[in-house]
């Protein structure tokens, strides 16, 4: 079957449930390879694949799960073209900035993320794309594929990264990988001998993509001080993965703020050839609510940043598709993106609106809390007097008394520039923050835990 077979006529591949074993990873790598070759479609959605795709979704080649602010899983429908454009835009960036100039921006990939969400899928798909573009005859992945069961730590990374770097060097390719902030933090902040070895290997990667959640400024600073080529990424299932690297849009991507406020912040809208068709629903229907088409005049309104000829060409043609995210953001004069937080995460306390991410960043940056608070999430809990009160969940470093958590955090923030109404009323200690998807904090569960805590 050729690469040009109509997607609607291709069979669905539905791999067995992913269990992180090498056999399970192999099944997903093979399925993703069939999608990349144009021979099949891959279903990773949260419900059974439909016997027939709805009108307008016939070109669907990949379906991945995602969850919105409600926590209800949805099925994102992506075309093969969107995947290819995303992969080639990343390669174009890496070729242009010298990351991988000798291999046209493509490289060897070490897969460390589950291939059940878009970030993990794209790591594997990029490795297939490397094989296609460079004529390797196979994807640029480790042989054999790694077993990812068990706890991820420095020792596990060393065992996987060493052979991957060796194989990449044999092929004459730069080595890439993708991590979530939690994984990166463990390697960068650890003090054991294995941590030191892990950092020495991580420095040999041409690029280490980090995304899925915000990465603290401290971790990024440590990476750069240690010459680790970390690249921050921003994107979602709806954009076929990362479409903004190091705060700048990839070629062909346009960023726009809708209804910016007096400070310049607004809700982020993304126009890109990598956008999904929309959402498939369990009842056989579709949802395209956050997707829209703009005329040239519409696309030019509001704060805007774009990259590459593709973005300009799209606007000049008179129309472009756009995806309205749930994120509040700012765009600098030179187009650099700063994501402030999700619009639906805003806490309304005593008539004042608070972005929890502002409080979380203050906790992360507090010198008084350095070496005491490891991770944190801030949530709003229903309160009869304030509407919502601000509370925090934290994990602590060994040796810190959990009973002191509230006083430690409140005392530290009182000495900062954080206004009094933004300081958490209570702080709850947990063994680990609840996570959703790949490395994202599950704020709905965090709110429930805070509400139930005594």
pLDDT in tens, 24-33: 999 999 999 9
Strands 435-436 and 440-441: antiparallel
* pLDDT band, very low/low/confident/very high, at 3 (cuts 50, 70, 90): low
Taking CA atoms, 333 is separated from 304, 330, 391, 394, in Å, by 9, 10, 35, 35
Which of 87 and 65 is assigned the larger pLDDT? 87
Calculate helix-pair angle for 405-414, 356-365, nearest 10 degrees: 90
Distance between CA atoms of 64 and 66, rounded to whole angstroms? 7
DSSP of 154-222, one letter per residue? HHHHHHHHHHHHHHHHHHT--EEEEE-HHHHHHHHH--SHHHHHHHHHHTTSSEEEE-SS---HHHHHH
pLDDT at 212: 76
Calculate helix-pair angle for 193-202, 181-189, nearest 10 degrees: 120
pLDDT in tens, 191-205: 899 999 999 999 999
Phi, psi of 303 (to 5 degrees): -65, 140
What is the DSSP-derived secondary structure letter of residue 250? P
pLDDT in tens, 130-155: 999 999 999 999 999 999 998 899 99
Buried (b) or exposed (e) across 277-299, using 16+ Cβ within 10 A?
Answer: bbbbeeeeebeeebbeebeeeeb
pLDDT in tens, 231-271: 999 999 999 999 999 999 999 999 999 988 877 889 999 99
pLDDT at 262: 76
């Amino acid at each position: 079957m050729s690469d040009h077979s109509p997607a609607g006529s291709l069979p669905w591949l539905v791999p067995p449930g992913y269990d992180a074993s090498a056999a399970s990873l192999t099944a997903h790598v093979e399925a993703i390879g069939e999608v990349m070759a144009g021979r099949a479609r891959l279903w990773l959605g949260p419900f059974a694949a439909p016997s027939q795709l709805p009108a307008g979704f016939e070109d669907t080649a990949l379906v991945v799960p995602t969850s919105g602010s409600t926590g209800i899983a949805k099925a994102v429908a992506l075309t093969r073209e969107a995947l290819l454009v995303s992969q080639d835009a990343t390669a174009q960036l890496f070729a242009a900035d010298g990351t991988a100039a000798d291999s046209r921006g493509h490289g060897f990939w070490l897969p460390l993320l589950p291939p059940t969400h878009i970030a993990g899928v794209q790591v594997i798909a990029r490795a297939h794309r490397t094989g296609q573009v460079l004529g390797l005859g196979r994807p640029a992945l480790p042989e054999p594929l790694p077993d990812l069961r068990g706890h991820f730590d420095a020792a596990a990374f060393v065992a996987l990264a060493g052979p991957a770097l060796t194989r990449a060097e044999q092929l004459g390719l730069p080595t890439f990988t993708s991590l979530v902030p939690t994984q990166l933090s463990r390697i960068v902040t650890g003090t054991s001998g294995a941590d030191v070895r892990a950092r020495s290997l991580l420095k040999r990667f041409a690029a280490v993509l980090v995304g899925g959640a915000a990465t603290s400024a401290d971790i990024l600073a440590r990476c750069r001080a240690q010459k680790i080529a970390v690249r921050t990424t921003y994107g979602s299932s709806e954009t076929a993965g990362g479409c903004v690297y190091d705060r700048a849009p990839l070629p062909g991507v346009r960023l726009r703020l809708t209804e910016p406020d007096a400070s310049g912040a607004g809700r982020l809208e993304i126009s890109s050839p990598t956008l999904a068709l929309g959402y498939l629903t369990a009842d056989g229907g579709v949802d395209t609510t956050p997707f829209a088409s703009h005329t040239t005049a519409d696309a030019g309104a509001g704060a805007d940043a774009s990259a590459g000829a593709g973005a300009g060409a799209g606007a000049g043609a008179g129309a472009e598709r756009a995806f309205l995210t749930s994120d509040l953001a700012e765009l600098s004069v030179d187009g650099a993106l700063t994501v402030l937080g999700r619009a639906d995460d805003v806490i309304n306390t005593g008539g004042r609106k608070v972005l929890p991410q502002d409080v979380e960043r203050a906790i992360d940056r507090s010198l008084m809390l350095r070496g005491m608070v490891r991770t944190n999430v801030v949530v709003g809990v229903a309160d009869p007097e304030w509407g919502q009160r601000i509370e925090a969940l934290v994990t602590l470093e060994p040796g810190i008394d959990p009973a002191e958590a509230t006083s430690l955090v409140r005392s530290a923030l009182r000495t900062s520039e954080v206004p009094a109404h933004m300081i958490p009323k209570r702080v709850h200690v947990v063994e680990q923050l609840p996570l959703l998807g790949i490395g994202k904090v599950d704020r709905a569960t965090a709110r429930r835990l805070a509400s139930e805590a005594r």
